[in-house]
Amino acid sequence: MEIYSTEEQQEEAIKNFLKENGLNIVVGAVLGVSGWLGWNWYSDKQLAEKEAASAQYEKFAEVAQAADVTLETVNSELNQFVAQYGESGYAIFAQLIAAKQAVIEGKFEQAEKSLTAAAAQAESSSLKDLVTVRLARVQIEQEKFDAALTSLNAVSNEGYSSRVAELKGDVYLAQGNTDKARSEYQAAADKGGLETNTVLKMKLDDLALSAKL
């Protein structure tokens, strides 16, 4: 930037600059203020939507977890919630609640539908893996064994490695492949599955007993 030797030159330069660019400065200032106000409005709107979604989810959960609730009621509430707040993160947890009620009533196809929707929306890999493990269990109940294996192979979180191996063992056992089932159950045990899962030990013991017969 040019250095002016006198105050008069600096003042004259400022006058000339404003004459040539004054309108642009004013417009820029107005746009800047408008942009700031617009951003504040957008942020406030987003916050209000999140608060509304949270409040509505709490109401949905209260209805869905009532002692005498039915899947029909849960799905009716779910459809209303998704129609209004389907893009919010709360929709994932609403789908999980609906899937749980479907499993309670033995309606595994409905559970699979809810879990598939939840998995598709989950952005967090850990949450997505949690949903996918539940999805695989529901698919096993429906004897959709290939689909269940596909779901289980998509789980990458090491925290679920023991559970994934056990469920794969369940698939292979249901298919009559006891060798693969035993291998997966042992893998689940090696990954710490026996520490909190007595059922896994029973599965291994049953296979060991059947091998001796």
Domains and CATH numbers, the chain: 68-156 (1.25.40)
144-164 as b/e, with b when 16 or more CB fall inside 10 Å?
bbebbbebbeebebeebbbbb
Closest alpha carbon to 165 in 191, 139, 141: 191
**pLDDT beyond 50 at 41:** no
For tokens 């996918």, name the residue. 132
Mean pLDDT (the chain) is: 83
**What was the pLDDT predicted at 151?**
97
Which residues have C-beta within 8 Å of that of residue 41, sequence separation ≥ 6?
Answer: none
pTM of the model: 0.74
**What was the pLDDT predicted at 51?**
80
Give the model confidence (pLDDT) of 98-141 as tens digits: 999 999 999 999 999 999 999 999 988 999 999 999 999 999 99
Are the beta carbons of 61 and 80 closer than 8 angstroms? no
Q: Of the given ranges (15-29, 96-110, 189-203), which has the lowest mean pLDDT?
A: 15-29
Q: What's the rounded mean pLDDT across residues 44-59?
A: 77
Are the beta carbons of 142 and 113 closer than 8 angstroms? no
Q: What's the rounded mean pLDDT across residues 55-79?
A: 91
